[in-house]
Structure 1
Amino acid sequence: MTIASIRRGYQIIRTVLHYGLDDLIPKHKSPWYFSFMRACLFWLRNKHKDKLPAERLKLAMQELGPVYIKLGQMLSTRRDLLDDEWAYQLAMLQDRVPPFDSELARQAIETELNAPIESLFDDFDDTPLASASISQVHTATLKSNGKEVVLKVLRPNVEANIRADLQLMSQGAALLERLLGDGNRLRPAEVIEDYQTTILGELNLKLEALNAVKLRNNFLESDALYVPYVYEEHCFTRLMVMERVYGIPVSDVEALKAQGTNLKLLAERGVELFFTQVFRDNFFHADMHPGNIFISKEHPDNPYYIGLDCGIMGTLTEQDKRYLAENFLAFFNRDYRRIAQLYIESGWVSENTDVLAFEQAVKVVCEPMFNKPLDEISFGHVLLELFRTARKFDIVVQPQLVLLEKTLLYIEGLGRQLYPQLDLWQTAKPFLEGWMAEQVGPKAMFDKVKGNLPYWSDKLPELPELIYDNLKMGRKLVGSQQQMLDRYLKFQQKSHKSNYMLLTSAVLLICGTILLSQNGTLWPAYLSISLGTIFWLLGWRSRPKNRKF
């Protein structure tokens, strides 16, 4: 462990104790050495006793910096793990980071390009356009075509700092896991493992560039979403170059109204975009907060979204997609038994779960929602409520479902902000029903057959030989089985013959013994014993010698 790691570790411990987060561990689960170590750090006292635990956690994460802020933001979506108050507080975490020195940005960019900035770009602006916890954005113009571009570059040493924090997080999670025991609901080790996957993906700008290219290609013909062009030849692990676009931030509703934007159409397109990404493409933007979404300035009567920052993308298994679609349909059909069955069939809750009890719990949560107009029902909150209910039944939520839930909440929030009367069900139901029909109808069967045709056509020339080999093998098998049957029948015949003679022998010997005990003539007794002995010898010799078939 390096000096920097030790220093960072002490900083984390100091922050945790200053905000009294150690008080959150139940006393009866704290080992003796934990209390001893706490006593040794007597000068680090809880300075925020007047605040609620959830608020103290939020403030501590904010003080610890970007990695912990992002962790808190992720945790705020885990309603399967956290209660409402904790999730609400963590959702307020803001990632505000001052820009780093532009000279360091220049050095980092030139290191990745392996060339001076001026050899490829004109008008490089040293003042950053935007600054975040992981990266910083500068503007320039491409020499080759005169197009305006943005250069996104990682912060100096951000990888080492994040990996060091993640290592300390993993160690802390392992300790917390031992303190809380196996039955704890929070599952800290699992949460940190999921978080590592997410944040480490954001450290690779080449991967983000590839994600942006894929998302752009999925919507090339769309009038609902535009993803800026990525200059892949200038993209590396720590640098990404893409087209500069101009738009209105989606959160600036006043500016959108001022230019006469069709807000109803825009809100409906947001919902359609979400379901298209999830169910058609199985590749959805999982970080669609307002800072990453802009609205076009052209054609306000036919507006489209501009999507940025494709560092976090989500996918679902085909099974999860189907279960999710059925879940939404079952909810709006008030089929709570089906919802309970879907959770069990999908493996989200244990197969040993009491279906009736789970159904009743779902009904208690969902039925009151139908007292509201359909345009006030939130898909995101439906998922939240279902996850919260399933939490009592030891739900196991996959990381991708958490990303999906977070994205759906973002989309709904934006949609209702743009157009409060948005009826998500009216917009989504035709899409979901059409998708389900494609999955289970004749078209789905035809598509599966069509998809397998290349494999079958490749194997078709081998079919006669395969049939001949199988018939030959079948004939051998039949012959082998016939031989075994013949042996068995012979064995049975010999066995019956031997048993018959031994039984006759026993009867004759018994009769001879009885006659010998009588006071009459002795020759019948001798005859009976002699015949019994002969039958016994014949039966013994005729018994089957080989019992293997």
Structure 2
Amino acid sequence: MHLLPRVLRIAALLVRYRLDDVIDDAHRFRILRWARVLVPRARAEIASLPRGERLVLALTELGPIFVKFGQILSTRRDLLPADIADALTALQDKVTPYPGSVARTAIEKALGAPVEERYAAFDEQPLASASIAQVHAAQMLDGREVVIKVLRPDIRERIDRDIELLRALGELANRVHPNADKIRPLDVVAEIESTLLNELDLQREGANASLLRRNFLNSDDLYVPEVIWSHTTAGVLTLERVRGIPVDDLAALDAAGIDRVRLAEKGVQLFYTQVFRDNFFHADAHAGNIWVDASRPANPRFIALDFGIMGTLSEQDQFWLAENFLALFEQDYQRIADLHLRAGWMPENVRMDELESAIRAVCEPYFTRPLSEISLAAVLIKLFQTARRYRLTLQPQLILMQKTLLNIEGVGRLLHPKIDIWATAKPVLEKIWWKRRGPKAMLKRLRQRVPEWLAATPDMPQLMHSYLEQVTSGKLEVRIASEDLRRLETHSRRGPQLAVSLTIGATFALCAVALQVLDTQTLRIGGVCVWAMGAAAISAVAFIAALRSR
């Protein structure tokens, strides 16, 4: 019951801004039916606005935490109409600052010492104020200029209270909304909660900044401010102070003589480098978090800010996503369909020809345009929306990556409206992917596994002996863990021959690795390999003989 006043206020706002029309089957929500009767309708100037803009106004009136909710929700383009997602992306997380004296007290509590003992100077007038934290300028005892990011007072309690409200609304929607199984409101609330709680840990944000800085140390493309770890805790983050031009201030960029064409190309290249080289990308790359270093106009570089939301992909998703991009560059629709199925994003009963035809229908209209007018992010979004008809399953990380790509392309076209996204992205991705998947990368991964294999080597004879005993005695059992594995039953008779082939193949592979890894004389290595291959051959013969004796 303690949530009822807040729920009533939200319902009243929905009606006042005519957002009850945005909710499908709003008549199912009785509270909205009553609110329609009791609450006056929106003024004409508000009613004439697009629904996305009306939603932004309502979230802003609800308060800073709901503004943050809207920003996070904008990443879920798989759930939202495009116009609403675009409007939410434009939400500005700017709120009234709280007194600098309160920030000073919070900093002293977090660092366990008076501000004067930790900093040579501290400016109580904030540089910026957002829903989660506030930023102040300061100076270290050694003279370095820094900024201090400090959490707003009582922010955890406010977030917990609003999350509880959101969860209650999510449970209501889960019960009465006809498309609840597709929208998954409770999962969305859980995702928002996780993101917000991560942003409450400024030490985590510092770790994100530190890793991104290490990935681009001495780079000509991106600068990341240094984290001052001695003055950083979960509640306070101290960073090197940087200065630059906001990326959307085109007049200032032109006045500084910045090569905007080169800068736009670097922005696109940086995205693919972060996603596919480092598997660690800035997932909140809107114009407010990206500056430009004005000190190098001919060879400009970006400056990254705000590291609360970062993205990573699993090794499998990285592989499937990169292969999908490369197939898209080549307009190979059959391969795109095949990759979607093999990645496990689609049910196995989907017909390949139907999926390929649907993908072709999405992509072909784009390819009739000049490449400079094609948005890779737009094509990707359309592909995902089309694939949803076939029960596409995507992880939140992929949705976050998609939203980041949309932001980066937007920045690129802002800087250089005629940029050819495809021509810029394709060679970068091909080069990075070759380094990640080429022979040298494969050999490096094999070298890393050698110590593990060598440690397991003494156990191999006993394991082989136990396996042979089970085979010859008829006690070997094959347990199928899923429907996918059940298909292997039809090939069970090929299992022994396959095991022999794998044994010999693994031996040759290990010898090849040893030739590259072991720091011994060539002749000695050759002798070891000959002995190992001989042992493998003897084992294989004994294996086959044992099988034939059954």
**TM-score normalised by the chain length of structure 1:** 0.80
Q: Which residue of 2 aligns with 1:530?
A: none
Q: Which residue of 1 aligns with 2:87?
A: 89
* 2:27–2:33 Cα contact (<8 Å) kept: no
| Partner Cα separation in structure 1 for residue 34 and residue 468 of structure 2 | 83
TM alignment of 1:42-121, pairs within 5 A: 42-47=37-42, 50-51=47-48, 53-121=51-119
Q: Secondary structure at the match of 1:240?
A: strand
Shift of residue 367 of structure 1? 0.7
| Partner Cα separation in structure 2 for residue 75 and residue 296 of structure 1 | 31
Is residue 10 of structure 2 the alignment partner of residue 15 of structure 1?
A: no
Q: Which residue of 2 aligns with 1:282?
A: 279
The one-letter code matched in structure 2 to 1:119 is E
Shift of residue 479 of structure 1? 7.7
Shift of residue 136 of structure 1? 0.9
Q: Secondary structure at the match of 1:223?
A: coil
Count of aligned pairs: 473
The one-letter code matched in structure 2 to 1:93 is L
Question: Which stretch of structure 1 is more off in the superposition, 17-26 or 54-63?
Answer: 17-26
| Partner Cα separation in structure 2 for residue 334 and residue 104 of structure 1 | 57
Superposed CA offset, 1:447-503 (max 9, x none): 23112112123334x26xx42x35754786688579xxxxxxxxxxxxxxxxxxxxx
Q: Which residue of 2 aligns with 1:377?
A: 374
* 1:99–1:136 Cα contact (<8 Å) kept: yes
| Partner Cα separation in structure 1 for residue 241 and residue 183 of structure 2 | 42
The one-letter code matched in structure 2 to 1:254 is A
* 1:250–1:414 Cα contact (<8 Å) kept: yes
Superposed CA offset, 1:172-221 (max 9, x none): 01111211146654332222222222122111111001111111111113
- Structure 1 pair 348–150 and aligned structure 2 pair: CA distance change class (3 A): same
**Equivalent of 2:236 in 233, 236, 239:** 239
- Structure 1 pair 360–43 and aligned structure 2 pair: CA distance change class (3 A): same
* 2:260–2:416 Cα contact (<8 Å) kept: yes
Q: Secondary structure at the match of 2:122?
A: coil
Q: Which residue of 1 aligns with 2:527?
A: none
* 1:80–1:395 Cα contact (<8 Å) kept: no
Question: Which stretch of structure 1 is more off in the superposition, 64-73 or 120-129?
Answer: 64-73
- Structure 1 pair 7–424 and aligned structure 2 pair: CA distance change class (3 A): same
Q: For structure 2, list consecutive stretches of 5 or more residues without a partner in the other structure.
A: 476-549
TM alignment of 1:222-301, pairs within 5 A: 222-301=219-298
* 2:121–2:138 Cα contact (<8 Å) kept: yes
* 1:81–1:391 Cα contact (<8 Å) kept: no
| Partner Cα separation in structure 2 for residue 476 and residue 346 of structure 1 | 37
- Structure 1 pair 476–27 and aligned structure 2 pair: CA distance change class (3 A): closer
Question: Which stretch of structure 1 is more off in the superposition, 319-328 or 15-24?
Answer: 15-24
Is residue 173 of structure 2 the alignment partner of residue 179 of structure 1?
A: no
Q: Secondary structure at the match of 1:348?
A: coil
- Rg larger in structure: 1
Q: Which residue of 2 aligns with 1:130?
A: 128
* 1:20–1:48 Cα contact (<8 Å) kept: no
**Equivalent of 2:347 in 344, 347, 350:** 350
| Partner Cα separation in structure 1 for residue 210 and residue 426 of structure 2 | 29
Shift of residue 380 of structure 1? 1.4
Shift of residue 56 of structure 1? 3.7
**TM-score normalised by the chain length of structure 2:** 0.79
Q: Secondary structure at the match of 1:302?
A: coil
Q: Secondary structure at the match of 1:420?
A: coil
| Partner Cα separation in structure 2 for residue 476 and residue 370 of structure 1 | 61
The one-letter code matched in structure 1 to 2:355 is F
Q: For structure 1, list consecutive stretches of 5 or more residues without a partner in the other structure.
A: 483-548
Shift of residue 393 of structure 1? 2.4
Superposed CA offset, 1:65-84 (max 9, x none): 22222332333343322223
Shift of residue 343 of structure 1? 2.1
Is residue 163 of structure 2 the alignment partner of residue 157 of structure 1?
A: no
| Partner Cα separation in structure 2 for residue 253 and residue 316 of structure 1 | 33
Q: Which residue of 2 aligns with 1:361?
A: 358
Is residue 308 of structure 2 the alignment partner of residue 311 of structure 1?
A: yes
**Equivalent of 1:424 in 405, 421, 426:** 421
* 2:312–2:397 Cα contact (<8 Å) kept: yes
| Partner Cα separation in structure 2 for residue 354 and residue 65 of structure 1 | 48
- Structure 1 pair 38–60 and aligned structure 2 pair: CA distance change class (3 A): same
Q: Identity across aligned pairs (percent)?
A: 46
* 1:264–1:418 Cα contact (<8 Å) kept: yes
- Structure 1 pair 318–474 and aligned structure 2 pair: CA distance change class (3 A): closer
